[in-house]
Chains A and B, each alone.
Chain A
């Protein structure tokens, strides 16, 4: 399933989606960025509550397909600008990480 399709199906809100046709496979949940850096897999949907610009860098390094911000976390506009420029897909979910992951069940 692509990021665009997944987001629509799960009812996530698009924050920025420069690459809607990226395929999503698997999911990783974590907020300690250095930890995520070594564990998230290419193509994963990464669920986090972190909002620092560093999430864009970690997404870029790990090549995750999309960042899903749980609990309706809001990003600073400057972070959205960087993510868009670097080709990082970000969507927002208004429920906590567990419920967000449940929505992904069967899709990824």
Chain B
């Protein structure tokens, strides 16, 4: 994809479909690398699905036979010399601790590194689309940390829904301010 933010959006939608209650999107950056980790407490995957999850001809879709979310993400990581791993615990085997963790490592200085792009819009879009999920977004950069936890926002908002247009605009602006404060570009 043209931006890694779009991959993050795409992979996070898997967590939504897996009926996650909490989804953590964690970006950890050094001068050389970017690690993107998407962790959820959704239903998880059984071993057979997990083993074939990077195969583009595997999908949970019923409308078509091809699923490219994880295959694209993996390819983009590998193009930079990095890698992608997926671990998962299915609810049938792990009733108390199920969920899926997708981790991708990118070497930022590689010519084929896909830029992160508009991560703020991605976070806002995810919250807007699934306001009942607890979204925890953390971006650790060498200059400082940007973070957002929708549970903390809900505590402040009271009866105002997270999906209210004003709230979503505020979330976007707050994230942008945090990025400006740490001097990230």
Tell me the A residues contacting B by CB distance below 8 Å: 32-35, 37, 52-54, 56-58, 60-61, 82, 86
Give the Cβ gap from A3 to chain B, nearest Cβ, in Å. Answer: 21
Cβ-Cβ contact count across A and B, 8 Å cutoff:
37
Q: List 19 A-B contacts (CB under 8 A).
A: A33-B68, A33-B72, A34-B1, A34-B2, A34-B68, A34-B72, A37-B68, A52-B75, A53-B71, A56-B56, A57-B56, A57-B57, A57-B71, A60-B57, A60-B65, A60-B66, A61-B66, A61-B68, A82-B57
Q: Are B2 and A54 in contact (CB under 8 A)?
A: no
Q: Are A35 and B56 in contact (CB under 8 A)?
A: no
Which 9 residue pairs are nearest across A and B when measured between Cβ atoms? Answer: A57-B56, A34-B1, A57-B66, A61-B66, A54-B71, A52-B75, A54-B56, A60-B66, A54-B75
Q: Which chain A residue shows the least CB distance to B3?
A: A34
Q: Which B residues, 42 to 93, have Cβ-Cβ distances below 8 Å to chain A? A: 55-57, 64-66, 68, 71-72, 75
Given A54-B71, A60-B66, A82-B57, 20 new contacts (CB under 8 A): A32-B1, A32-B2, A33-B75, A34-B1, A34-B2, A34-B6, A34-B68, A52-B75, A53-B55, A53-B56, A54-B56, A54-B68, A57-B57, A57-B66, A57-B68, A57-B71, A58-B68, A60-B65, A61-B64, A61-B66
Q: Which chain B residue shows the least CB distance to A61?
A: B66
Q: With a CB–CB cut-off of 8 A, which chain A residues contact B72? A: 33-34, 54
Q: With a CB–CB cut-off of 8 A, which chain B residues contact A58? A: 68
Give the Cβ gap from B173 to chain A, nearest Cβ, in Å. Answer: 29
Chain B interface: which size bin? 10 to 19
Q: Give the docked Cα–Cα distance between A65 and B127 (Å).
A: 40
- Binding site of B, secondary structure by majority: helix, strand, loop or mixed? loop
Tell me the B residues contacting A by CB distance below 8 Å: 1-2, 6, 55-57, 64-66, 68, 71-72, 75
Q: Give the docked Cα–Cα distance between A86 and B64 (Å).
A: 14
Give the Cβ gap from B130 to chain A, nearest Cβ, in Å. Answer: 22
Give the Cβ gap from A40 to chain B, nearest Cβ, in Å. Answer: 14
Q: With a CB–CB cut-off of 8 A, which chain A residues contact B68? A: 33-34, 37, 54, 57-58, 61
Give the Cβ gap from A6 to chain B, nearest Cβ, in Å. Answer: 25
Q: Give the docked Cα–Cα distance between A86 and B56 (Å).
A: 12
Q: Which chain A residue shows the least CB distance to B65?
A: A60
Q: Give the docked Cα–Cα distance between A58 and B57 (Å).
A: 10
Most buried by A among B6, B65, B66: B66
